[in-house]
């Protein structure tokens, strides 16, 4: 069964460094998403992406965040200058229509 | 935009007892509704979903949920809880808006199962 994959599973970085989180969505899906879950809190929507552009973004998704679909398979989330409060689990998801399929997540730890 | 409320932050039930987790949503049109389960340090597993049709939906692991439009609710139920059901449960509401499939999660309900 096709699934969404994410790499790395765990990323540790120093405050101020740039990180790129990678996702491979399900191949025939058209919509792509990033969510964030701070430890012990709910899953928060960051951004959705369709037809090579951002469809919607939340207030969390400020100028330090960017997304890209550099080729036909990958979907990336870049955090330009990480802050301590960016430490969280980041989930990628993709959908063909209404049901989103989630990846296993990348745990980002900012020191 | 849509929103979800899960009124119960933490619920404790005895193994073998019945379970109901509450979820209320706010959305102007017919929503798509989901329940996910998350074990500590793990990803999100879809338990069940409602798009249309029969308002009582069956999911995996013996869970079911009922969509009640009049109450804006989508409560999750299980007749007999197992110790392995202890986890965090998230209700989510989605909506297909032009070029965007928008999903919002509730704050979650943590389920503890007593022996």
DSSP string, chain A: ----EEE-SEEEE-TT--EEEEEE--TT--EEEEEEE-TTS-EEEEEEEETTEEEEE-TT--TTEEEE--SSS-EEEEESS--GGG-EEEEEEEESSS-EEE---EEEEE-
pLDDT at A71: 86
- Minimum mean pLDDT among B41-45, B47-51, B77-81: which range? B41-45
CATH of the domain at B64: 2.60.40.10
- Whether A38 and B107 have beta carbons less than 8 Å apart is answered as no
Q: How far apart are CA A92 and CA A102, in angstroms?
A: 6
pLDDT at B1 > cutoff 80 = no
Q: How far apart are CA B104 and CA B106, in angstroms?
A: 7
* A64 min Cα distance to partner chain B (Å): 22
| Burial of residue B41 (number of CB atoms within 10 Å: 0-12, 13-18, 19+) | exposed
Mean pLDDT of A14-28: 96
Q: If you measure CA to CA, which chain A residue comes closest to B50?
A: A99
Q: How far apart are CA B11 and CA B19, in angstroms?
A: 9
* Nearest partner of A58 among A68, A69, A43, A71, judged by Cα: A43
Mean pLDDT of B49-61: 93
* A96 min Cα distance to partner chain B (Å): 9
Q: B95 - beta bridge partners?
A: B102
| Burial of residue B13 (number of CB atoms within 10 Å: 0-12, 13-18, 19+) | middle
Inter-chain contact A42–B90, Cβ cutoff 8 Å?
yes
- Minimum mean pLDDT among A17-21, B48-52, B101-105: which range? B101-105
pLDDT at B100 > cutoff 70 = no
pLDDT at B112 > cutoff 90 = yes
Structure tokens at A47: 């951004």
pLDDT at A66: 97
* Structural domains of chain B, count: 1
Q: How far apart are CA B22 and CA B107, in angstroms?
A: 12
CATH number corresponding to A5-110: 2.60.40.10
* Tens digits of residue pLDDT in A53-111: 998 899 999 999 999 998 878 999 999 999 999 999 999 999 988 788 999 999 999 99
Domain assignment of residue B66, given as a range: 3-114
- The ranges assigned to domains in chain A are 5-110
Give the 3-state secondary structure of residue B69. Answer: helix
* Tens digits of residue pLDDT in B29-42: 778 999 999 988 78
* Nearest partner of B84 among B113, B42, B50, judged by Cα: B113
| Burial of residue A75 (number of CB atoms within 10 Å: 0-12, 13-18, 19+) | buried
Q: Select from A42, A56, A99 the Cβ nearest to the Cβ of B107.
A: A42
Mean pLDDT of A5-12: 95
Query: What phi and psi values does residue A69 have, to the nearest 5 degrees?
Result: -120, 85
Query: What phi and psi values does residue B83 have, to the nearest 5 degrees?
Result: -55, -30
Tell me what percent of the residues of chain B surpass a pLDDT of 70. Answer: 95
pLDDT at B43 > cutoff 90 = no
pLDDT at A99: 83
* Chain A hits for B103, Cβ within 8 Å: 33, 45, 100
Inter-chain contact B99–A103, Cβ cutoff 8 Å?
no
pLDDT at B10 > cutoff 70 = yes
Inter-chain contact B103–A41, Cβ cutoff 8 Å?
no
* Chain B hits for A50, Cβ within 8 Å: 99-100
Inter-chain contact A105–B43, Cβ cutoff 8 Å?
yes
């Amino acid at each position: 069964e096709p699934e969404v994959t994410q790499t790395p599973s765990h990323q540790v970085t120093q405050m101020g460094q740039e990180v790129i989180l990678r996702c491979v969505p399900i191949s025939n899906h058209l919509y792509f998403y990033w969510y964030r879950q701070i430890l012990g809190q709910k899953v928060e929507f960051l951004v959705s992406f369709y037809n090579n552009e951002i469809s919607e973004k939340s207030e969390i998704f400020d100028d330090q965040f960017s997304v890209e679909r550099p080729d036909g398979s990958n979907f990336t989330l870049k955090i330009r200058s990480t802050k301590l409060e960016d430490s969280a689990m980041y989930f990628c998801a993709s959908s063909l229509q209404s049901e989103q399929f989630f990846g296993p997540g990348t745990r980002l730890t900012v020191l | 935009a849509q929103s979800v409320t899960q009124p119960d932050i933490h619920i404790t039930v005895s193994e073998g007892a019945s379970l109901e987790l509450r979820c209320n949503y706010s959305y102007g049109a017919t929503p798509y509704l989901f329940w996910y389960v998350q074990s500590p340090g793990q990803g999100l597993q879809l338990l069940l979903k409602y798009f249309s049709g029969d308002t009582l939906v069956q999911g995996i692991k013996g869970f079911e949920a009922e969509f009640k439009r009049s109450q804006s609710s989508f409560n999750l139920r299980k007749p007999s809880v197992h110790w392995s059901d202890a986890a965090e449960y998230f209700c989510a509401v989605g909506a297909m808006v032009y070029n965007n499939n928008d999903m919002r999660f509730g704050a979650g309900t943590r389920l503890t199962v007593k022996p």
